[in-house]
Amino acid sequence: MFNEKIKKLQEVIDNSNNIVFFGGAGVSTASGLKDFRGKNGLYKEKYEKTPEYYLSSECLYQEPEEFYNFYRDKMNCLNVKPNIVHTYLADLEKKGKLKAIITQNIDNLHQKAGSKNVLEIHGTVFKNYCDHCYKEYNVDYIFNSKDVPRCECGGLIRPDVVLYGEMLPNCFDEAIKYISKADTLIVAGTSLTVQPACGLVDLFKGKNLIIINNDNTPYNNQATLFINDDLVDVFSNLK
């Protein structure tokens, strides 16, 4: 059954020239990063408060020490390397088949693999700025500092990441345009349960909706092809 589905996926890719990839945290787990809802995800760990709170704008501005303790411990991806999923997609883009990568991840791994058109709808840890004067700070400054990072003007330095309770960036509108025009949408490594990101799938009107995930999603019945398997195993078998 696995080989049959891989063959079908390969045929779809070979016959498509306007592919969009929409990925979640599961894309980066093979690189050593934890996802949120997987069996070994952050939600399975025990904290005094929830991961949603630690990664919220409320925590950042009311308890910045708590925010940065969690953020530095769990979101540091400076030394993480891309895996086969990232490199395969970068190659697919070079071939002209993949038009855009829409990612919920903030780890910059698609860019490290060589992808150019990456829409980071939840932002990135690699950009940081002062919330008062908007001076920019590099990622090393954030992860190498010991206390709450402050700008020389006194403002709080924050990551350019969409925290819980915040609006999505302008590139979300661009993501909508790419998905609405695609003939093939490959969704991988996401549970498709977090709004408004998962709502992007509803906007797809093309021919092939491919979902690849270890767990079921609410969109399985809408998929042209659902592959319930490890992403590394799937992408390692593609040409």
DSSP-assigned letter for residue 155: P
Rounded to an integer, what distance in angstroms lies between the CA atom of residue 120 and that of residue 109? 11
Query: What backbone torsions phi and psi does residue 150 show, to the nearest 5 degrees?
Result: -120, 145
Q: At CA 77, angle to CA 228 and CA 125, rounded to 5?
A: 105
Query: What backbone torsions phi and psi does residue 125 show, to the nearest 5 degrees?
Result: -70, -15
Rounded to an integer, what distance in angstroms lies between the CA atom of residue 193 and that of residue 4? 28
Out of 86, 110, 122, 132, pick the active-site residue: 122
Contact 101, 71 (CB under 8 A): no
122 included as an active-site residue: yes
Which residue blocks in the chain are alpha helix, DSSP H?
2-14, 51-54, 57-62, 64-74, 84-94, 109-113, 139-144, 171-181, 231-236
Q: Which residues are catalytically annotated?
A: 122
